[in-house]
Amino acid sequence: MLTLTAVAIFPIAFVSYVIVRDEIRNVTRSIDFETRDAAQSAQARFSRLLDQRQLKAVTAAGSPQLQAALRRHDTESLARFARRKRLLIEVRGHSYGRRLENAVAARAQLVSGGRQIGAVVAQLPTDQALLRQLSAGAANGVQLAYVGTEAAPQAGRGVTLPLAPQVGVRAFLPAGVVSHRKNAAYIRVIEAGLLALVALMLLTLVLARPLLRAFRWTEQQASEARIDSLTGLANRRAVEEILAAEISRAHRFAHQLAVVLLDLDRFKEINDSFGHAAGDVMLRGVSRLLTSLARQGDTVARWGGEEFVVVLPETDLAGAQRFAERLRRTIEAHAVGEMKTSASCGVATMLQEDSVEDLIGAADQALYQAKSNGRNRTESALRGHSPAAA
């Protein structure tokens, strides 16, 4: 009994180690997502507020009242206008209005008589009130703080994004909160491990060998990731296995099988314009759209980069074309924040002699044709069918 129990402890300890490692990794990923989401939201809100200040400065610069005061060189009117509008007016080396410390300036040129004579400045103070406004909707426990280019980051795990020159925002979880979350993960695993150990001690005599095989299988499953970490969809390895099984089932029951290969158009421009973090947000948004439009029994996977694949069992060419068009139109109409994209789709249906590579290759050729024909369209592989281009 003691020997068998000792044998059982080692697999339990090893599996507990694997689970702890994965739990801590999941906690870390969750923290990174929460802080990055809070920082990106704060950055977007700050940009909108600064745009409003810019519009206010431009409107004030063209105000007839201000232009009249400039023509008269009426300094008192300039000062009153600046105070009433809460602006800073800089004219011919003189300033009217209050200059705020620790504020980001939105400037508009001040023109009179066809010459630039100064500027109208709308100031956005980077104070605690603004910080509270930027942090609205942040995940529980996530804190925001201003940082400069030379400022040391606050203690804890977080993300820093720029707001304006020399000013950034850092979203972070304090070190105490991070430790609490990790400790909670440890406790969950320890409790589960103790319960499993008690159960194993009761069952070791009759189930020792099956349990050892089960532990080996668990270890193998833990080490073989089949889910794309960014989107939560099946990854390329998983969809190849699923597609092989669907081809076998289609042969056995004489069903049709279709594949849609989808590629986001000009995705590099999104990364270049908004940053790779925004590109990741776009990929997650598209993956949610694809999942919401798929039927029960369909498989949606990330093929790689900005390419996605949808496996459609018991679907003919016309049905696959309609489904691909629905995906394309939905993606084209959907915006993620200020970002929009479109998609090119390649559709292929299975022939009797097809392997996984043949079917995917046919869909890839159709996708290439859609890209060549101008993008944001659907093309079908010519493989014994009459193709239809949308």
Distances (CA, A) of 5 to 142, 197, 209, 285, 386: 45, 9, 12, 49, 66
Cα 160 to its chain centre, rounded Å, is: 16
- Are 200 and 296 members of one domain? no
Q: Report how many domains make up the chain.
A: 2
Least confident range of 47-61, 126-140, 185-199, 297-311: 185-199
Residues 270 and 280: their CA atoms lie apart, in Å, by 10
Percent above pLDDT 90 for the chain: 45
Question: Given this model, what pLDDT does residue 350 score?
Answer: 95
- Are 255 and 217 members of one domain? no
Q: Is residue 319 part of a domain?
A: yes
- Are 200 and 248 members of one domain? no
pLDDT for 102 beyond 90: no
Query: Which CATH number goes with the domain that contains 364?
Result: 3.30.70.270
Residues 352 and 372: their CA atoms lie apart, in Å, by 28
- Are 24 and 63 members of one domain? yes
Q: Is residue 390 part of a domain?
A: no
Question: Given this model, what pLDDT does residue 13 score?
Answer: 67
Among candidate residues 192, 224, 256, the one where a domain is terminated: 224
- Are 21 and 150 members of one domain? yes
Q: Is residue 75 part of a domain?
A: yes
Among candidate residues 190, 224, 258, the one where a domain is terminated: 224
Distances (CA, A) of 96 to 77, 85, 88, 120, 159: 10, 11, 6, 10, 38
Q: Is residue 53 part of a domain?
A: yes
Q: Is residue 278 part of a domain?
A: yes
- Residue 100: exposure state from Cβ atoms within 10 A (0-12, 13-18, ≥19): middle
Per-residue pLDDT averaged across 308-314, rounded?
96
- Are 140 and 212 members of one domain? yes
Question: Given this model, what pLDDT does residue 174 score?
Answer: 83
Give residue 370's identity as a one-letter amino acid code.
A
- Are 143 and 248 members of one domain? no
The predicted-structure confidence for 200-237, as pLDDT tens digits, reads as follows: 667 665 655 666 676 666 655 644 568 888 999 999 99
Among candidate residues 194, 224, 254, the one where a domain is terminated: 224
- Are 16 and 63 members of one domain? yes
Catalytic member of 23, 90, 306, 379: 306
- Are 240 and 211 members of one domain? no
pLDDT for 386 beyond 50: no
Q: Is residue 178 part of a domain?
A: yes
Give me the domain span that covers residue 247: 236-380
Helix 356-372 with 236-253: angle, nearest 10 deg: 110
Question: Given this model, what pLDDT does residue 203 score?
Answer: 65
Give residue 225's identity as a one-letter amino acid code.
A
Which among 89, 124, 117, 122 is positioned nearest to 107, based on CA atoms? 122
- Copy the structure tokens of residue 211: 């349990």
- Copy the structure tokens of residue 303: 């093929």
pLDDT for 156 beyond 50: yes
Per-residue pLDDT averaged across 242-264, rounded?
94
Per-residue pLDDT averaged across 263-279, rounded?
90
Indicate the average pLDDT of the chain. Answer: 85
Question: Given this model, what pLDDT does residue 191 score?
Answer: 77
Question: Given this model, what pLDDT does residue 11 score?
Answer: 67
Residues 346 and 353: their CA atoms lie apart, in Å, by 20
- Are 116 and 251 members of one domain? no
Helices (H), 173-275: 175-223, 236-253, 267-274
3-state SS record for 286-334: HHHHHHHHCCCCCEEEEEECCEEEEEEECCCHHHHHHHHHHHHHHHHHC
Q: Is residue 76 part of a domain?
A: yes
Per-residue pLDDT averaged across 35-41, rounded?
88
Query: Given pLDDT bands bounded at 50, 70 and 90, which one contains residue 318?
Result: very high
Contacts for 128 with CB less than 8 Å, ≥ 6 apart: none
- Are 100 and 14 members of one domain? yes
- Are 196 and 343 members of one domain? no
Query: Given pLDDT bands bounded at 50, 70 and 90, which one contains residue 359?
Result: very high
Per-residue pLDDT averaged across 21-39, rounded?
84
Residues 250 and 317: their CA atoms lie apart, in Å, by 15
240 catalytic? Reply is no
Can you list the positions of beta strands (E) in 32-175?
88-91, 94-96, 103-112, 115-125, 143-147, 157-164, 167-173
Q: Is residue 388 part of a domain?
A: no
Region of 363 (left: φ > 0; alpha: ψ -120 to 50; beta: rest) is: alpha
Residues 251 and 318: their CA atoms lie apart, in Å, by 20
